[in-house]
Structure 1
Amino acid sequence: MYDVVIVGAGPVGLFLAGELALADCSVLVLERDRERTSPWKALPLGMRGLNAGSVETFYRRGMLEELLTASSADGELIGADPDAHEPPAPRDVSHFAGMRLDPADIDATALPFRLPGPAMEGIMTSLEAVGTVLTEWAAGLGVQILRGAAVEAVTQDGDTVVTRAGGRDHQARWLVGCDGGRSTVRELAGFDFVGTEPLFTGYTASVAFADPRKLAMGFHLTPAGMYLRTPFEGHLGMMDFDGGAFDRSQPLTREHLQTVLRRVSGTDTALTGVHLASSFTDRAMQVTAYRNGRILLAGDAAHIHSPLGGQGLNLGIGDSMNLGWKLAATIHGTAPDGLLDTYTAERHPIGAAILDWSRAQVATMNPGPNAPALRRLVHDLLSTREGTTHVFRSTSGLSHRYDLGSDQPLVGRTAPDFRLADGTRLGDLLREGHGVALDFTTDQRLHDAAMIWKGPIRYAAGPVSNDLGFGALLIRPDGVVAWTDDHDPDHEAFRRAATRWFGGPTA
Structure 2
Amino acid sequence: MDTDVIVVGAGATGLMVAAELALAGVRPVVLETLGARSTQSRALNLHPRTSEILQARGLLADLLEHQIVLGTPAHSFFGALPVPLDCHPWRTRHPYQIGVLQTRVEERLERRLAELGVTVSRGHEVTAVEQDPDGVTATVRTAGGERRLRSRYLVGCDGGRSRVRKALAVDFPGTDGSRLFVAADVVLARPPERWHAELDPERRRHLRLLPGNSMAGVVPGPGGRLMFSLRALEDGVHRLSFSGPAVQRIPREEPVAEAEILEAIRTACGLDSELKEVRWASRFSDACRQVERYRHGRVLLAGDAAHIIVPLGGQGLNLGLQDAFNLGWKLAAEVSGWAPPGLLDTYHTERHPAAAVLLREARAQFSLLDGGPELTPLREVLIELLGLPETNRHLAGVVSGLGLRHPVPDGAHPLVGRRLPDLDLRTADGPLPVHRLLRGGRGVFLDLSGAPADEDVVGAWAHRVDIRAATAAEDIGARQVLVRPDGHVCWADDRERLADALGRWFGAPR
TM-score by length of 2: 0.85
**2:46 maps to which of 26, 43, 50:** 50
How far does residue 207 in structure 1 lie from its aligned partner after superposition?
A: 4.5
Mapping of residues 290-309 of structure 1, within 5 Å: 290-309=294-313
Is structure 2 residue 468 aligned with structure 1 residue 423? no
Change (3 A) 1:3 1:71: farther
How far does residue 141 in structure 1 lie from its aligned partner after superposition?
A: 0.9
Is structure 2 residue 171 aligned with structure 1 residue 174? no
Is structure 2 residue 460 aligned with structure 1 residue 460? no
Tell me the equivalent position of 2:217.
220
Tell me the equivalent position of 2:14.
13
How far does residue 367 in structure 1 lie from its aligned partner after superposition?
A: 3.9
Change (3 A) 1:107 1:491: closer
Give yes or no for contact 2:43–2:314 (8 Å, CA) kept in 1: no
**1:132 maps to which of 87, 104, 107:** 107
Tell me the equivalent position of 2:139.
164
Change (3 A) 1:440 1:395: same
How far does residue 258 in structure 1 lie from its aligned partner after superposition?
A: 4.4
Tell me the equivalent position of 2:33.
32
Give yes or no for contact 2:20–2:328 (8 Å, CA) kept in 1: yes
Structure 2 counterpart of 1:122, one-letter code:
Q
Structure 2 counterpart of 1:341, one-letter code:
D
How far does residue 246 in structure 1 lie from its aligned partner after superposition?
A: 4.0
Tell me the equivalent position of 2:182.
203
Aligned counterparts of 1:254 and 1:61: Cα–Cα separation in 2: 42
Tell me the equivalent position of 1:81.
none
Tell me the equivalent position of 1:84.
none
**1:99 maps to which of 72, 81, 84:** 81
How far does residue 293 in structure 1 lie from its aligned partner after superposition?
A: 1.2
**1:194 maps to which of 137, 149, 173:** 173
Give yes or no for contact 2:453–2:468 (8 Å, CA) kept in 1: no
Mapping of residues 313-462 of structure 1, within 5 Å: 313-405=317-409, 406-418=411-423, 419-421=425-427, 422-441=430-449, 446-462=454-470
How far does residue 222 in structure 1 lie from its aligned partner after superposition?
A: 3.5
Structure 2 counterpart of 1:182, one-letter code:
R
How far does residue 266 in structure 1 lie from its aligned partner after superposition?
A: 7.8
Aligned counterparts of 1:18 and 1:147: Cα–Cα separation in 2: 17
Change (3 A) 1:242 1:332: farther
Structure 2 counterpart of 1:427, one-letter code:
H
Aligned counterparts of 1:95 and 1:73: Cα–Cα separation in 2: 16
How far does residue 279 in structure 1 lie from its aligned partner after superposition?
A: 0.7
Structure 1 counterpart of 2:413, one-letter code:
Q
Aligned counterparts of 1:328 and 1:242: Cα–Cα separation in 2: 49
Aligned counterparts of 2:498 and 2:450: Cα–Cα separation in 1: 14
Identity of aligned residues (%): 37
**More deviation in 266-275 or 384-393?**
266-275
Tell me the equivalent position of 2:24.
23
Tell me the equivalent position of 1:65.
61
**More deviation in 65-74 or 335-344?**
65-74
Change (3 A) 1:270 1:199: farther
How far does residue 143 in structure 1 lie from its aligned partner after superposition?
A: 1.7
Structure 2 counterpart of 1:468, one-letter code:
I
Deviations 1:347-388 (A, max 9, x none): 001100111111011211224451444444434443454444
Aligned counterparts of 2:188 and 2:447: Cα–Cα separation in 1: 61
Aligned counterparts of 1:436 and 1:60: Cα–Cα separation in 2: 13
Tell me the equivalent position of 2:212.
none
Give yes or no for contact 2:448–2:469 (8 Å, CA) kept in 1: yes
Long gaps (5+) in structure 2: 210-214
Aligned counterparts of 1:339 and 1:352: Cα–Cα separation in 2: 21
Aligned counterparts of 2:347 and 2:370: Cα–Cα separation in 1: 34
**More deviation in 54-63 or 443-452?**
443-452
Long gaps (5+) in structure 1: 78-89
Aligned counterparts of 1:18 and 1:336: Cα–Cα separation in 2: 22
Change (3 A) 1:71 1:170: farther
Change (3 A) 1:243 1:96: farther
Tell me the equivalent position of 1:250.
254
Aligned counterparts of 2:453 and 2:103: Cα–Cα separation in 1: 48
Aligned counterparts of 1:259 and 1:401: Cα–Cα separation in 2: 46
Mapping of residues 227-246 of structure 1, within 5 Å: 227-231=228-232, 235-240=239-244, 246=250
The secondary structure found in structure 2 opposite 1:279 is strand
Give yes or no for contact 2:181–2:247 (8 Å, CA) kept in 1: no
How far does residue 107 in structure 1 lie from its aligned partner after superposition?
A: 8.4
**1:153 maps to which of 115, 119, 128:** 128
Aligned counterparts of 1:391 and 1:139: Cα–Cα separation in 2: 38
The secondary structure found in structure 2 opposite 1:93 is coil
How many residues were matched structurally?
475
Give yes or no for contact 2:394–2:403 (8 Å, CA) kept in 1: no
**More deviation in 418-427 or 428-437?**
418-427
RMSD between aligned alpha carbons? 2.8
